[in-house]
Amino acid sequence: MDFAYIIQSFFDGFFSLFHLNILLGIVIGVVLGLVVGLLPAIGASMIIVLILPFIFGVDPIFALPMLTAIMAVNYIAGSVTAILMNIPGSTASVATVLDGFAMTRKGEGGPAIGAALSASALGGIGSVLFAILMMPVVFPVVLAFKSAEMFSIILLAMCFMATVSKGSTTKGLISGCVGILLGFVGFHETTAAARWTFGSIYVYDGISIVSVMLGLFALTILLDMRLSDEPLAPMDTAQAGNLRELWKGVIEVFRHLGLWFRSTVIGYIVGVIPGVGAETAIWVSYGQAKMTSKDPSSFGTGNIEGVIAPESANNAKEGGAFLTTMAFGIPGSVGMAYMLVAFMVVGLQPGPRMITENANVCFAILQTLAISNVVGAAVCFFGATLLLKVTRVPPIYLFVTIMPLTLIGAYNHHALLSDIIIMLIITVLGIFMHKSRYPFAPAVLGYVLAPFFELYFWRALSLGGPLFFLTPISIILILSTIFMLGSDFFISSFKRLLKPEGRKTA
Amino acid sequence: MKGKMNVHCYFLIILMAIMLFLGIYTFTYKDIETKLMPIAVCGMGFVLVANELRKELTGQKKQASDDVVDNVQMSEDGPTATVSELRLYVIGFAWVIGLFLSAYLIGFLISTPLFVFVYMITHGRTFLASCITTVVMGGTIYGASVALQMYLFPGIVFGG
């Protein structure tokens, strides 16, 4: 893969964005992302799932920038509610609450918002720059991935997602197994056997991806949301402050460029690691900000460094997560699991082939990420107070507007009522899983990756024999999987070994 | 036995039964390529579910410390659903089934605004608020299904 191809793809991707439809898609994505970012009950993943049925057959260069924009600005909006209302819009804004809301209580809400927005935008841009610079390095790495390595990395990704999702590892693994079993339904590619179809022609092509996504995730969460009729913020509690105050916050970010850079690098690295979410990035960067601060004791009482660090990191994480998702076909985070489905819905197969054959799309996505961060921060900068009104909408309005869309979406895929029936059946499964605290992400990933997992396994077996996994990359990946799955066991064994010594010293 | 049978236990038992059935059924396929992976996953799933059930029944279950799973805020009532909570889900699910049946009988264009209006009126919203939401939703559905696909993106809704 020559350097000229990378440069050409970079510019192809860049210029393809300057089309009215695409720019419109980005703007729609930014607005949607900001609105859902303010509502913890919805979130970017939900909106992506709801949009999926309507992007079948749509040009990826139009559909993906819109979805990318939603993902990009989700955290920006979440920081606004975190700072002004003490309500993090997403789990990635939890660390921002500590110092952001403390600043609001001290009457410094404006500078806190300004700092959060500019740190977010700069963090997003920084991570995209890192991702683009890493492209020439990633190319030879992905080309080294053959069937055995792909099998091993899919195994690692599924186990990663199961173990890092919140809740117990066993529940994550069970959720993954459920997803894989759903993914096995239908024609088997190599033997042409109809697996678990029970004579029904409808499921020969497998269970509809849209029905699974809408049933397992969207409708379940909507029904959960319906149980509460209280708006997120019933009263007009917060004001973002005037532009002058916001600008003070922007200047503070430029006064702490070192902190911004360190946090961005941390966010990017965490994003690259499969399955690790923004929750890790924000706390690691918050910790390093506290350690390197001249006044660590003021953290938690309204130190602006406690806002800049997590906000830079949570947006920087996206660049790394997108790169991992596109290059290896394994999601860099929970949200990326849903983006992975979106890639497949528009006809792209994330993985080595995507980055080598559709490098222009990859660059366009990364560039959209940077543009969306800037546009999203600018919209919040000038219209945060207006956007906050969204938080006063009672959930009943969201339920009556979104719920019909899930049914229409399921029907829209194949124009078959059977898709809706399957969606409703999967919703029942989703309700039980949700109320028993099973994470959905491993199930989604299992469902999406199951056919590829099986395909690569048999291909690697036929090419390399029973010991096909004895390649350097594959061994590292499988050892990582074993270590990750057994980490709890290893840690508890280690503690048990140390216990008698502890007693002696006591 | 320290633990009690709860909704989660019943869910696990159903999962075990499904995995067992699918695992055994898969043996009926001829080719090893068709049956190896499903049997392996069913077997592994069965063991994991059985272990989870054992933990639940013997009271070894740890209360999860976080209230958030998959970036979704969970109920604060505890790790598993209560029967009364599930009853509320059943009521909500009945509305979804109702919309589905009405869409089957009279189509989405009519059933969606009808659903919005009836749902809002029966859930204590004012007549005016219900009417406005109904008109907006009806307009959106009509706009999406007719205007959008005819003028902007042919084929985006219902395949054109």
A229 contacts on B by Cβ (under 8 Å): 123
User: Which residues of A fall within a CB distance of 8 Å from B138?
Assistant: none
pLDDT in tens, A290-331: 888 888 888 888 888 989 999 998 888 888 888 888 888 877
Q: Cβ–Cβ of B155/A43 closer than 8 Å?
A: no
Burial A431-470 (b: 16+ CB within 10 A, else e): bbbbbbbbbbbbbbbbbbbbbbbbbbbbbbbeebeeebbe
Q: According to the model, what pLDDT value does residue A158 have?
A: 82
User: How far is the alpha carbon of B71 from chain A, nearest alpha carbon, in Å?
Assistant: 6
The Cα of A77 is separated from the nearest Cα of chain B by a number of Å equal to 15
Q: Which two tokens stand for residue A303?
A: 């130190």
Categorize the per-residue pLDDT at B98 as very low, low, confident or very high, splitting at 50, 70 and 90: very high
**Contact between residue A305 and residue A263 where contact means Cβ atoms under 8 Å apart:** no
The residue in chain A having the minimum alpha-carbon distance to the alpha carbon of residue B107 is A408
Cα B155 to its chain centre, rounded Å, is 28
Nearest to A379, CA basis, from A77, A81, A42, A69: A77
- Chain B touched by A416 (CB under 8 Å): no
Are B48 and A177 in contact (CB < 8 Å)?
A: yes
More confident residue, A79 or B4: A79
Residue A56 — very low, low, confident or very high, per pLDDT cuts 50/70/90? Answer: confident
CB A40 within 8 A of CB A86: no
Work out the pLDDT band at A493, boundaries 50, 70, 90. Answer: confident
Instruction: Provide the residue range defining the domain that includes A136.
Output: 3-495
Give B74-83 contacts, CB < 8 A, sequence gap 24+: B74/A434, B74/A437, B75/A224, B75/A227, B75/A435, B79/A436, B79/A437, B79/B8, B80/A435, B80/A436, B80/A437, B80/B6, B80/B7, B80/B8, B81/A432, B81/A435, B81/A436, B81/B7, B81/B8, B82/B7, B83/B7
Q: Is the pLDDT of residue A488 over 70?
A: no
Residue A194: its H or E element:
strand A194-195
Would the CA dihedral through B83, B84, B86, B91 be positive or negative? positive
Provide the domain count of chain A: 1
Tokens, residue A109: 């809400």
CA A61 to CA A360: how far, in whole Å?
Answer: 9
pLDDT on residue B108: 85
CA distance B103 to B98: 8
Between chain A and chain B, how many beta carbons pairs sit less than 8 Å apart?
189
Strand partners, A186: A195
Q: What is the DSSP string of A380-438?
A: HHHHHHHHGGGGGS-HHHHHHHHHHHHHHHHHHHHT-HHHHHHHHHHHHHHHHHHHTT-
Among A75, A203, A226, A453, most B C-beta atoms within 10 A, so best to mutate, is A226
Q: What is the share, in percent, of chain A residues with pLDDT greater than 90?
A: 9
ipTM at complex level: 0.83
Buried b (16+ CB within 10 A) or exposed e, A218-255: bbbbbbbbbeeeebbbeeeebebbeeebbebbbebbee
Pick the more confident residue, B128 or A234.
B128
Q: CA of A5, closest CA in chain B: separation in Å?
A: 32
- Minimal Cα–Cα distance from A465 to chain B, Å? 14
With an 8 Å Cβ cutoff, are A195 and B8 in contact?
no
Assess if residue A504 is contained within a domain.
no
Mean pLDDT for all residues in chain B: 80
Q: pLDDT tens digit string along B63-87?
A: 444 444 444 444 434 445 667 777 8
Interchain CB contact of A436 with B (< 8 Å): yes
Residue B1 to chain A, least CA–CA distance (Å): 21
Residues A188, B34: C-beta atoms closer than 8 Å: yes
Tell me if A184 and B44 make a contact (CB, 8 A cut-off): no
Distance CA(B125)–CA(B128), nearest Å, equals 8
Our CA angle for A331, A336, A339, nearest 5°, is 115
Q: What pTM was estimated for this model as a whole?
A: 0.81
- In this prediction, residue B78 carries a pLDDT of 47
CB A307 within 8 A of CB A255: no
- Bridge partners of A195, per DSSP, are A186
Confidence band for B11, pLDDT divided at 50, 70 and 90: very high
Asked if residue A505 is part of any domain, the answer here is no
Q: CA-CA distances (angstroms) from residue A432 to A158, A208, A378, B81, B100?
A: 21, 21, 41, 8, 21
Say if A501 falls within a structural domain.
no
* A385 Cβ contact list (under 8 Å, min separation 6): A238, A239, A240
User: A447 near A430, Cβ under 8 Å?
Assistant: no
Nearest of B25, B84, B12, B111 to residue A178 by alpha carbon: B12
Please give the full DSSP string across A265-296, using - where no structure is assigned. HHHHHHHHSTT--HHHHHHHHHHHHHHH-S-G
Residue A502 lies in a domain: no
CA pseudo-torsion sign B51, B55, B61, B67: positive
A171 part of contact set with chain B, CB < 8 Å: yes
Tokens of A415: 């124009």
Polymer length in residues for chain B: 160
Express each pLDDT in A391-410 by its tens digit: 777 888 888 888 888 898 88
Contact call for A427 and B93, based on CB within 8 A: yes
Are the C-beta atoms of residues A52 and A100 closer than 8 Å to each other?
A: no
Is it the case that residue A477 has pLDDT exceeding 80? yes
What is the mean predicted confidence (pLDDT) over A13-40? 83
> Do residues A121 and A372 touch, judged by C-beta distance below 8 A?
no
pLDDT digit string, tens, across residues A426-444: 999 999 998 888 888 889 8
| pLDDT given for residue A181 in this prediction | 94
Phi, psi of A186 (to 5 degrees): 115, -170
Burial class (CB in 10 A: 0-12, 13-18, 19+), A344: middle
Q: Which segments within A21-159 are labelled E, that is strand? A: none
What's chain B look like in SS3? CCCCCCHHHHHHHHHHHHHHHHHHHHCCCCCHHHHHHHHHHHHHHHHHHHHHHHHHHHCCCCCCCCCEECCEECCCCCCCCCHHHHHHHHHHHHHHHHHHHHHHHHCHHHHHHHHHHHHHHHCCCCHHHHHHHHHHHHHHHHHHHHHHHHHHCCCCCCCC
- Dump strand ranges (E) for A210-250: none
Note the pLDDT of residue B153. 59
Cross-chain CB nearest to B33 (options A190, A224, A432): A190
The predicted structure's pLDDT at residue B40: 94
The dihedrals phi and psi of A100, each to the nearest 5 degrees, come to -65, -50
With 60 as the cut, is the pLDDT of residue B157 above it?
no
Beta partners for residue B73, in sequence order: B68
For A169-220, what is each residue's pLDDT tens digit? 888 899 999 999 999 998 887 888 889 988 888 888 889 888 898 888 888 8
Return the residue in B6, B70, B97 with the most chain A beta carbons within 10 A, the one to mutate for interface testing. B70
A45, A227, A432 ranked by CB distance to B11: nearest: A432
Distance CA A427, CA A421 (A): 10
